[in-house]
Structure 1
Amino acid sequence: MFRWSEIKAHFKIMNPYIAFGFILFFAGLVVGGTNSAFSDYLEQQLKALGNVAESLEQTENPTLAFMVFIFLNNAIKSIFIIYIGAIFGIIPIFFLVLNGMVVGFLLQHVAETQGTGDMLTVVLGLLPHGIIEIPAIVVACAYGMKFGVLLLKAIGRLIIPGKEAGKSGREIEYFMIRSVPVVVILTVALLVAAVIESTVSVWVSSL
């Protein structure tokens, strides 16, 4: 049985990684909104999302289809990103920066082509689910980065054996145990975000 006190204690340990995750996301947001060098790539990303949205609109129940797609897409990616972080924590870093760039590019593109009034509508449309979804993704990536750091330490201790040679196994085991309740919390949070995004956010964006 997982104790909330233990989960909170581990979140405190993870605070530096979570803070760094937010820094990466907002750095990506600034780059996506100000640097035109990535515009072609980011336009392709938004176009791909638009094509998916069009396909979902053709279903019998678009709201449910959007909800299921958003939830599965975010939940699977978030869980995957925690454990794929084992590859030196590189993919979680890339994932955070890319997501920030897409959001920054979207806001900048709307402001340029449709004016600040429409940009405000987009921001208001992102807020209802974004206040849950973005922190959840940042936390997932923070855990992915932590996993990468643990494995790098383990490799270092294998190369240069010393008193702490057996410490890595215990650290990784502890991390894996602590990651299970985090996965559950993130899954629930992303389910709530998907419900809001497919209902409230759509309604706000249409105002």
Structure 2
Amino acid sequence: MINAFISTLKNNRSWLILAVIFFIGGTFLTYAALHQDPQALAMLEEAIFPVLEELGEEVFTGHPLYGALILFFHNLTASLQVILLGLILGIPPLFSAIANGSVLGILAFQLGQEGVAVVPFLLAGILPHGIFELPAFLLSAAFGLKLGYHLVFPLPGLKRLESVKNIFREIGGALPMIVILLAIAALIEVFITPAVLLYFFN
């Protein structure tokens, strides 16, 4: 399974790079925009953070295993939506990559405004689970972008429907590893990340 997953990553290298560019672009553009207009932070917080806070309450107020399960299914649903909505010409995955990067940019700017060391906090609070969650999300976004593109421009030698079926077979082969990565990420985010943050920032 791992070898097949690595092969999938190699075969979709250009789409992964594109997804990463959109994600990082969303992060830096949002951070730069907030740096130019700090007043916009309140508006963005009001639009985005209530949803994240509601999810956080569901995940962290009950039993940790139940919280990890909620987080896992939330992230899996989001990843599947990013893939399937790629059929809309790849536009939703593009915006999803940018939006998720933007959340990171907002968080980084907010931490800086509060006088928190941004890089250490992000390393402690995101890196432990992010090394599993981000590859799963970015691969999902890459597949969504690929679906949208080849719906318009079929794969060489294939008709449009054949191209889509071919990509869905590829997605089916990668899906078990995406599920595993998201499951590991959810467990780490619930059981390990809070302890890491408490240790470094208590």
Q: TM over 0.5, yes or no?
A: yes
> How is 1:99-114 mapped onto 2 (pairs within 5 angstroms)?
99-114=100-115
Match of 2:180 in 1: 188
Match of 2:23 in 1: 25
For the structure 1 residues 168 and 7, does the alpha-carbon distance in structure 2 shift closer, same or farther, using more than 3 Å as the test?
farther
> How far is 1:102 from its partner?
0.4
Question: What 5-or-longer segments of structure 1 have no aligned partner?
Answer: 158-162
**For 2:55 and 2:83, how far apart are their aligned partners in 1?**
25
Deviations 1:28-53 (A, max 9, x none): 11122221265313443123212332
> How far is 1:139 from its partner?
0.5
Match of 1:204 in 2: 196
1:84 aligns with 2:85: yes
> How is 1:12-51 mapped onto 2 (pairs within 5 angstroms)?
12-36=10-34, 39=41, 40-51=43-54
Match of 1:171 in 2: 163
The two structures, once aligned, show a CA RMSD in angstroms of 2.4
> How far is 1:181 from its partner?
1.6
Letter in 2 for 1:97: I
**For 1:15 and 1:54, how far apart are their aligned partners in 2?**
36
TM-score, normalisation: structure 2: 0.85
Secondary structure class of the residue paired with 2:192: helix
For the structure 1 residues 135 and 87, does the alpha-carbon distance in structure 2 shift closer, same or farther, using more than 3 Å as the test?
same
| Contact 2:125 2:193 survives alignment (8 Å) | yes
For the structure 1 residues 19 and 42, does the alpha-carbon distance in structure 2 shift closer, same or farther, using more than 3 Å as the test?
farther
**For 2:8 and 2:59, how far apart are their aligned partners in 1?**
39
For the structure 1 residues 204 and 100, does the alpha-carbon distance in structure 2 shift closer, same or farther, using more than 3 Å as the test?
same
Aligned residues: 194
Match of 1:53 in 2: 56
Match of 2:133 in 1: 133
Letter in 2 for 1:25: F
> How far is 1:83 from its partner?
1.5
**For 1:45 and 1:130, how far apart are their aligned partners in 2?**
19
Whichever of the two has the greater Rg, that structure is 1
Match of 1:75 in 2: 76
> How far is 1:15 from its partner?
0.6
> How far is 1:75 from its partner?
0.6
Letter in 2 for 1:51: E
Secondary structure class of the residue paired with 2:126: helix
| Contact 2:5 2:177 survives alignment (8 Å) | no
**For 2:51 and 2:127, how far apart are their aligned partners in 1?**
22
**For 1:188 and 1:55, how far apart are their aligned partners in 2?**
22
Comparing 94-103 with 46-55, greater Cα deviation is found at 46-55
For the structure 1 residues 177 and 23, does the alpha-carbon distance in structure 2 shift closer, same or farther, using more than 3 Å as the test?
same
Letter in 2 for 1:130: G
For the structure 1 residues 47 and 179, does the alpha-carbon distance in structure 2 shift closer, same or farther, using more than 3 Å as the test?
same
Match of 2:99 in 1: 98
**For 1:170 and 1:5, how far apart are their aligned partners in 2?**
25
Question: What 5-or-longer segments of structure 2 have no aligned partner?
Answer: none
